[in-house]
Structure 1
Amino acid sequence: MDIQTPPTLLQLAGESLLRDQASAIAALDYLPAELFPLLFIQAYRRRIPEPLKAMVQAWPFTVLPLGGLLQLPGLMVLQAVLDGLDILLAQEVRPRRWKLQVLDLRNTGTNFWRMWCGDSTWNCSWKVPVAVHSSSPNKEHPLVPLEVFLDLNFNERDDGDEFLKYILQWAQQREGLLHLCCKALRISEVPFQRQTPLDKLSIENCQRLTHSDLTHLSQCPNLRQLKSLHLFRLSLADFSLEPLRALLEAVAPTLQDLRLDNCGMVDSQVEAILPVLSRCQQLRDFTISMNNFCVATVEKLLRHTAGLRSLELELYPVPLECYRIRGILNQERLAQIRAELKAILSELGQTRTIYLCGKCCHTCGNTNVYDVAFS
């Protein structure tokens, strides 16, 4: 016959405490950080929302790896956790008790629960979140957006992931209060032709973007009416930009905002998109800063955008010729190149102001912007 391991005294204490929810909530102010994970799991498994809501507000760790528990049933208890966060997010100043910085909804973190709860069923590795103890108990902290990590998986055959829908709707309604971070995105067999046309597409900090992904985007019918295209901090240095050229060709009649900043682009790649740029007659904002261009490429960009009468904002990278070894900016050379670019604007006969953006300083994180104007 099976011999079940008897519950530990700690588990029995948690179960006893949860029988009186009001007492359990009141005890959180005095509960050691080491007891929170076990009590949280017990409340989660028993679907007791009020203690969960209170524990989120008093969570003594920097990370709540909730994704490791989501294989357990309960959209209701997920709602309780988010309700607890809402109480905190609604406040203008972060309470001194709030230590939580990251809500992790990915299928990770199970080692955290195993370590604190002694449950051998948890078997994933995880960097254990740190319990934070304030040295100034009466000090309030300025509000910093909460980071929420999750993986996205879109599949035509799914009727809809209620969990994903709920999370995305919750995050959208709290814009500015949290930072939604997706490190892994999977799209398979999604019927784009049946979707409403998009007017904005933004892809940022996606280091896993492949050439086939870019090709797929250029072929999506629901992107044919884009007004805004943002690609930021991508690794395009080894890509052929032919798919991007095809996408720009398709959206040229409607595109108003094109941003291709910090994508690792080089001179040879710009040649692929130069001709189509001149056909984006509705373009108002064009930024292509923090890429590796020589002055000749910047000059070509100026000439190919000269006929865009709606253009109001132009941001280009400071040319490579302006930098010394180790990326130090040569101010004298920069002044010469600004004068050369101003002469080109004069030659084109346009009242026009462009901006040159320098590389990000690794020490302070700032960037300098320089104007070149002709009137």
Structure 2
Amino acid sequence: MSVQTPPKLQKLAIQTLMRNEAEVISSLEELPPLLFQILFKEAFIVRQTNLIKAMVATWPETYLPVGSLMKRPDMEILQAVQDGVDMRLNREFYTRRGKLQVLDMRNVHHAYWNVGNDNDYSARTSDKEQAEKFLPRYALRQHLKVIFPLSLASRQSESNAFFLNWAQQRKRLLYFCCIKMKIWPIAFQDIRDILKIFHLEYIRELELNIDWTLLELKYFAPYFGKMKNLRKFMLSPIHKETYPITNVTRVTDVQCLDKFISQFSKFNCLQHICLKRVHIIKDKMNQVLGCLRTPLETLSIIHCQISQAFVDSFSCSRSLFQLKHLEIKGVTLDAFDLTHLRGLLEKVVDSLGTLDLSQCHMKDSHVNVLLPALTQCSQLTDVNFCYNDFSMPTLKDLLEHTVNWRKINVEEYPAPLECYDELNHASRERFAQLCEELMDTLRQVRQPKNISFATVANTCPKCRGKYVYGHGAKLCSC
């Protein structure tokens, strides 16, 4: 009981103090920092906007992660925070206490607000360290920095539109930064106006879900190139008809594409690339990899058309030699020679943790090519070979050669071809029998943790479902 009493008394004292808002505001210059923090959190809970505004203006530390308190968009609270910033900008307003340099408006969990625990002090990183975590030291000497997450679409959310309108009017007085930006279909002119508000060198993650033309992609290139500290990049055209061509041959189209691709040479720390349904880069992927200045940790190629020339570049692309995650999913590989993919795997045996080669229409011959390298991949934790065409002998051979996969946690395999009849329907009994045989084969090599075998979709003649076998068979819904 005694352990719980102090926090209860503290909360009661805070609630009593909060009832006199005017007195609290008048005493902000004298409050100790920890009490300042506790009061600010309570002001959010009870929605005392006047107090929030005054406390933002007089914040006694350099870093304020206010976004982690805004669990959902709230126009009234957002207005109060922005008004507090405006008070700081007002030359008639003076506070000897206000030290705020970074206002972080991202809605992410933050240990900074873990007040009231015995280990408060250790959980809260110093305000200076928090500020420097997101922005370089030279930037901290300039205007107040405002970090805001952006997900841009043709129909902006009310909170996004409200913030952007406010930011547009203050872009010369404040330093607007976005760590993670997502762009959905939006008029190119609109996105260009929005990008001019932000300092693009602070974008670390960019996700482009766009339906722009090649010409618009060219116009976007200069802005893209300014994101020199980009770490993660995803490009995913959402409308298939946007890029109906798979071979860019017209001179103007080639120039547009080359202009965009050339920007990859400007990134100082790009480590993760994901391309989804990007058919226009079919013959340019080796050019993209050749532009990179730093080794990749993640390469994801999903539902894209690629060329043999790109596959052949795997074993000689130095930007891939430190890969931790390789995903080639939904890419038709049945007609390709995978010798150079094997060469890549041989170079990353000590770093590769996840490998996804699902939905690639691979045959037994492809497994035979890759097997010498797969055997050596001792750091694998997750593998996925589902939706490929492997026979029972090939699957057994593959499993027998996984003795070095001591770190494997999740592994997914296709059901053997022997499960299916001429109509591509899988026999339940045959499926369960063969999968149990495969499990027996694996147990002779090592003890599996989380493993599954699955038929392709639409294999059940009744419900068109699929069968999945893990630790026991989970058959379709019928």
- Could you state the TM-score of these two structures normalised by the residue count of structure 2? 0.43
Q: Indicate which of 359, 371, 375 corresponds to 2:470.
A: 371
Please list every run of 5 or more consecutive structure 2 residues that lacks an aligned counterpart in the other structure: 1-153, 157-186, 195-208, 216-235, 265-273, 473-478
For residue 106 of structure 1, the aligned residue among 213, 221, 232 is 213
Q: Does 1:358 align with 2:465?
A: no
Q: Does the aligned pair in 2 maintain the 1:218–1:247 contact within 8 Å?
A: yes
Amino acid at match of 2:238: E
> Which structure features the higher share of strand residues?
1
Question: C-alpha displacement at 1:198, in angstroms?
Answer: 0.3
Residue 78 (str. 1) matches residue 188 (str. 2): yes
* Alpha-carbon RMSD: 4.1
Tell me the number of residue pairs that the alignment of Structure 1 and Structure 2 aligns. Answer: 236
| TM superposition shift of 1:201 | 0.6
Residue 230 of structure 1: aligned partner: 327
- CA shift, 1:195, in A, is 1.2
Which of these residues, 285, 303, 319, is aligned with residue 205 of structure 1? 303
> Which of 437, 444, 449 is the equivalent residue of 1:340?
437
Q: Which amino acid aligns with 1:253?
A: D
Q: Does 1:195 pair with 2:195? A: no
Given that 1:316 and 1:357 are in contact with CA atoms closer than 8 Å, whether structure 2 keeps it comes out as yes
Secondary structure of 1:240's counterpart equals coil
Q: 1:323 aligns with which of 404, 416, 420?
A: 420
Q: CA distance change for structure 1 residues 224 and 329 in 2, over 3 Å: closer, same or farther?
A: same
Comparing both chains, which one has the higher relative contact order based on Cα–Cα distances under 8 Å and sequence gaps of 6 or more?
Answer: 1
In structure 2, what residue type is equivalent to 1:370? Y
79 and 290 in structure 1: CA distance in 2 versus 1, 3 angstrom threshold: same
Where does the alignment leave 5 or more consecutive residues of structure 1 unmatched?
Answer: 1-55, 59-76, 85-101, 109-144, 166-174
Instruction: Map 1:87-98; keep pairs closer than 5 Å.
Output: none
Of 354, 360, 369, the residue aligned with 1:272 is: 369
Alignment partner, residue 388 of structure 2? 291
Q: TM-score, normalised by structure 1?
A: 0.54
Q: Deviations over 1:59-111 (max 9, x none)?
A: xxxxxxxxxxxxxxxxxx72326779xxxxxxxxxxxxxxxxx9631259xxx
Larger % of helix: which?
A: 2
- Tell me what 2:238 maps to: 147
**What secondary structure, in the 3-state scheme, does the structure 2 residue paired with 1:261 have?**
coil
Report if the CA contact (8 A) 2:377-2:404 is conserved. no
Distance 2:293 2:325 in 1: 18
The residue type paired with residue 332 of structure 1 is: E
| 1:240 CA drift (Å) | 1.5
Q: Is the 8 A contact 1:294 1:319 kept in 2?
A: yes
Structure 1 segments of 4 or more deviating over 4 A?
Answer: 81-84, 148-155, 160-165, 188-191, 362-367
Q: Which amino acid aligns with 2:358?
A: D
Correspondence 1:263 to 2:373: no
Q: 1:28-66: per-residue Cα shift (whole Å, max 9, x none)?
A: xxxxxxxxxxxxxxxxxxxxxxxxxxxx659xxxxxxxx
* AA at the equivalent of 2:278: C
Question: Which protein shows a greater Rg?
Answer: 2
Change (3 A) 1:193 1:206: closer
Shift of 1:366: 5.6
| Equivalent-residue separation in structure 2 for 1:248 and 1:303 (angstroms) | 19
Contact 1:193 1:222 in 2 (8 A): no
| 2:399 paired with 1:302 | yes
2:189 corresponds to which letter in structure 1? Q
Give the match for residue 346 of structure 2: 249
2:238 match: secondary structure: strand
- 8 Å Cα contact 1:253/1:281 also seen in 2: yes
What do residues 262-300 of structure 1 show as CA deviations (whole Å, max 9, x unaligned)?
A: 111111111111111121111000111110011111111
Q: Give the conservation status (yes or no) of the 8 Å contact 1:200–1:227.
A: yes
What is the deviation of 1:182?
2.4
Contact map agreement 1:193 1:220 (CA 8 A) in 2: no
